[in-house]
Every structure is written in C-alpha cells, then in structure tokens.
Structure 1
Amino acid sequence: MAFKPNEYQQITMDDRFLNLDERTASRPNTPVNAIIGALILKEMFNLTDDELLASILCDVRFQYALHTTSFKSQPFSDRTFSRFRERLYLYNLETGRDLLHEEMEAMANVFVKYFNINPSVKRMDSIMVSSSCKKMSRLEILYTCVANMVKAVYKTGEYEHLKNMEHYLDEDDRKKNNLS
C-alpha cells in the first residue's frame, strides 16, 4: 500500500487559516484598542502594514496580544491601518488634536505609575539617547564613547590607566581619524 498514515497533527480542510473570509462593506468597525495595539506591535517589530496584517491573520501570538483569538475572523483588513491614520489626520486638521499622541502619552503615564518609574531619570539603554547619534556611524559612536571614557578617567587623575589613549584627549583627534 502506498498510503502511510501521518501521526502528526495536520491542518484540516476547514481550518480558518485556509478559509479566510471575504471582507464586506457592512462588517463592523475594528476596535480602536485593537488597532492601537497592532500599531504598537508594528513599531516594536519594525513591520510594514502588510507584514503586520499577515502576522495578525496567521500568527496566534499577535492575536493573543490583541485579544482577538476568540473572534471568528480577525477584524483587520488590508486598508484598516491606512484608513485609521487618514481619519486621525483629518480629525487633527479639523480640531488641532492629535488623538494618537494623546493616547500614547496617557498610556506612558499609566506605565510610569504601574512600574514605579522615576520620569526625571534618563535611561541610557534607550535608542534615542541623543538625537545626534542617529546621524552617526557605528564607528563614530564607538569613538565618541571611548573618548568620553578617556576624558572621565583623566578627570579622576588616574593617568596610568590611559596608556596609549592620550590622543583621545586632543579635540582634533577626531578630525585626524576622519570621523567628523
């Protein structure tokens, strides 16, 4: 016999991933909290709108994060995010209020309270430590970090630790190494 049974779980013919429903004009709106959650996931994972939609439709982890696992079909379409941004933009033009910015600020305040974060303390693991570092190459960032370390050690008077690193104290050293 040429047929051998497969003992592993297989996708059935009526699986919801194989039978994605057609979108109709009369379907209900996508919940705003789900859209905002999806946009946060998009930024966290650096996804495009199409990649985000594919992840939501096919990855149960995204559905779990958005609390949409119990939905018969996911409430997102290929135009959900562009239409949402368009409505926010038009509302901002009409009223001068940026609702998404207000929501992000409100959520940040909740996180600050929940995690007991002191907002006056600057985080050094942030990707936005300094806006100027966005324009720097990796080599420039490394050079700047080492130069700052050498200057800090020099201020303590521990000169013996600076063997062969004194050139970092020279302000023209960066130019000599073609890093500016």
Structure 2
Amino acid sequence: MNPGIRQKLEKSWAPIFYEEVFCNIDEKPFSVLYSDVGCPNFPVNILLSLEFIKHMKNLSDDELIEAFYFNYLVNYAVGIRVLGEVNLAEKTLYNFRSRIYRYLVEHPDEEDLIFGQFLNLTKKFAEKAGISFSEQRMDTTMFMSNIKKAGRLALAFDVLQRAVKAIPEDKHTDELSKVLEEGFKKEMLYKSKPSESDSRLETLLNMCYEAMNILEGIPGMESSEELRIVKRFLSEQAYIDNKSGRVKAKDSKDIPTDSLQSAYDEDATYRKKGTKGQSGYVLEIAETCCEDNAFQLMRVVKNFVSD
C-alpha cells in the first residue's frame, strides 16, 4: 500500500478488532455444535467476528456479505489480507446462527456460548485498560438476543411459507399472498438489520397466526400436517397479548427444549449421544443386515442427515 494509506489503515478500527477481538476468540466451546465426525465448513472465529461487526455497524446480511467481499477494513479485521480470497454464502451465516440458537434452547442451564465469548473478551479488555470490575459498572449488549432472534426468524419464515402454500389461492389475504412472492424471504431475512429483529419476528408470528386461522376454517384441513406444525410452532414460540390482541414472541428461556426444529419434519429432534448433542434423526441398523447393504444405507443417510 501507499505509506499514507497504510498509516490510515493502522489508525482505523480494523487492526484493533483483529488483535483484540478476532485473535482472542476461543473456538473450542463451539465444538459442541458439531458431531465427532463433522466440523464447521467455515472458520468459527470469522463467523463470530462478522456477527459482532453486523451488530456494531447495524448491517443487514446483504450489507454484511457485500462488506465481506469488498470492504478491506472488514477483511483485515477478520484476518483476511486479500479481497475475494474467501467465499461466504448467506446460508453459511444462517446455519451458524441456527446451530447456536438450537443449542441455547436445548441447554438453558449451560453457559451461553456467545456470552462466554463476551466475558472472555471483556476480561482481556479490562486488563489492558486497567479497569477493575469491582469499581466500574459494565453495560451489556443485546447481541445475544439478536443472534437468537435471527435463528427464530428463519424458522418462522419456513413455518409460515409452508402454511401459506397449503391455503387455496382464492383464500389468500393480500398480506399472505406476499409470502410466496419472489423477494419476500430476502427482504424479511437477509435485509433485516439487528435493530429490526423484534418487529420482523413479530410480523412473521402474526402472519403465522393469520394463516393458522384460515387453515382451521378450510374443510379437510383440520388434521393436516401444515396446520399441526403452525399450531405447534405458535404454542412454543408465542403468546397472545390480551391488550393488543396481537401475537408476541416468547422469551427464549420460555421456549421448551423439545421445540420444533424444522418446518418440514417434526421428527428432526435433539438428542445426546455420549457427551455430544446432535440435531437430526436416530438410525438403528439390524445386526442381520449384510455389510454391503448396511454400508450403502449409511452412505445414503449420511448424505441426507445434517447434524
């Protein structure tokens, strides 16, 4: 770089973030999100750093990914020195958030993975700044809530979309018709900023409630899977506010540990095997299976199941 530009870079927030945040992120606690035979396909320290930056800059996912590709300060902050060197998909962000969200719901009594990082980083900041926790009040951040809401937002959209698809077109309201329009998902999920999470989650929950009421009034849909799933989802995730008559999101701690994990399969539940927690399916192969058939079956299941 030109020496002058290099000097400006060194005085920016990026080197500070890289040295004091990125390099001090402990990835080991996040191993519980993955199985013994699986591993993240993208570095956890980069993903977590991007979540910090998203919150710090109040960026939507679209803006965050664009910054990751073209903003050198963002790249420098997460340890990348060549623009375009690493590819990042929107799905990668949402898979990471979903895993964290599921783990928090399934393990309410264990230390929050995100808050654990905040404590670790804050201690290091305090030591460097010479701050005593016994003498200085420390404000907290709503970052943890934001990542939980991001996971719930994606699940809410999937439940809503499936319910709306089950409703005959002539019974769609103007609002529900938008759900099937191209761009609705992107607008709701990928263009949502941290400051908008509450309002967007509430919007999707109320649309789910509207879809549920319509499905209940359609002959033959009383026992449908779509109605059963949206009912279960709302009972686990929301409540009716008596004053406003609108659906409100429950606090994360009030969501049951066996809550719905997928809008498309109620049997995709959480279980523990040894010391590891996994989301997926339980498979048992009879001992009488021949080795070749068992191997083929396991290969198919391995391709189908996502830990």
> TM-score, with normalisation over the residues of structure 2?
0.29
Task: Specify which structure has the bigger relative contact order, considering alpha-carbon pairs within 8 angstroms and separated by 6 or more residues.
Answer: 2
Higher helix residue share: 2
Which entry has the higher C-alpha Rg, 1 or 2? 1
